[in-house]
Structure 1
Amino acid sequence: MSQQHADSGVQDYVKGFIASLILTIIPFYFVATQSLPDTITYVLMFGCAIVQLLVHLVYFLHMEIRTEDGQWNMISLVFTALVVFIVIAGSIWIMWNLNVNMMM
């Protein structure tokens, strides 16, 4: 590995770390100060979480679509997201069904 390539890798990690810090501080500030209405605060938190997820995928997990390996990375990411969605949705459905059927 060349020195220039190693330096760009470190720079990418630093960029990702700084972006993650900013995307964490922004929601914490608005929740702690309660300076925005609740709905806007929730939207801001959700938006920062989505952007932070993308930052982690690109800068730390090196998920790229451009390369051939990147395509397989994306397929495995989509499969994982689908399985997680099925588990969460199934758990909520089971808990709701138990709540409805067990309450008198």
Structure 2
Amino acid sequence: MRQTAGFPKSQIFGLFLSLVLTFGAGFIALKTSLSFGMIMAIIGTLALIQAGLQLFMFMHVSEGEDGKTNIINMLYSLFCAIVIVFGTIWVMTLGTHTH
């Protein structure tokens, strides 16, 4: 494991950016007069950005010998989860129309 001395600039930047995204989502939810669907879409987008930010800044997903392998595995897991969720919704909603 690599140890470095000094000020953790990237972690401080990641923390600051996470706080900005969190407070931005709170501001959008509480202080705007957008429609409910638009607010949820914006908050969901900010949440995905923050999740990706935290994976790369704090969990160091792309570092190490198998950094690319970690990213590929996470993308494949995300693909499987999306297929399972949307496939289940598709079967449950359209399954009653065939009878």
**Percent of aligned pairs sharing the same letter:** 20
Q: Distance in 1 between matches of 2:83 and 2:3?
A: 44
Q: Deviations over 1:37-96 (max 9, x none)?
A: 2265344323312321221121122122x7641111111111111111111112211221
Structure 1 vs Structure 2 CA RMSD = 2.8
Which residue among 48, 52, 55 is the counterpart of 2:53? 55
Q: Matched residues in 1 for 2:97 and 2:23: separation?
A: 40
Equivalence for 1:94: 91
Q: Tell me: CA distance 1:100–1:20, structure 2 relative to 1, closer, same or farther (3 Å).
A: farther
Extract structure 1 runs of 4+ deviating beyond 6 A: none
Question: Which one has the bigger helix percentage?
Answer: 1
- The correspondence of residues 62-73 of structure 1 with structure 2, limited to 5 A, is 62-64=60-62, 68-73=65-70
- Residue 89 of structure 2 aligns to a residue whose secondary structure is helix
TM-score normalised by L of structure 1:
0.69
Q: Flag structure 2 segments of 5+ consecutive residues without an equivalent.
A: none
AA aligned to 2:28 is: F
Q: Distance in 2 between matches of 1:26 and 1:76?
A: 30
For residues 76 and 3 of structure 2, the distance between their equivalents in structure 1, rounded to whole angstroms, comes to: 35
**Structure 1 residues without counterparts, runs of 5 or longer:** none
Distance change >3 Å, CA 69–CA 32, structure 1 → 2: same
Correspondence for 2:80: 83
Aligned length, in residue pairs:
97
Letter in 1 for 2:23: I
Corresponding residue number in structure 2 for 1:13: 11
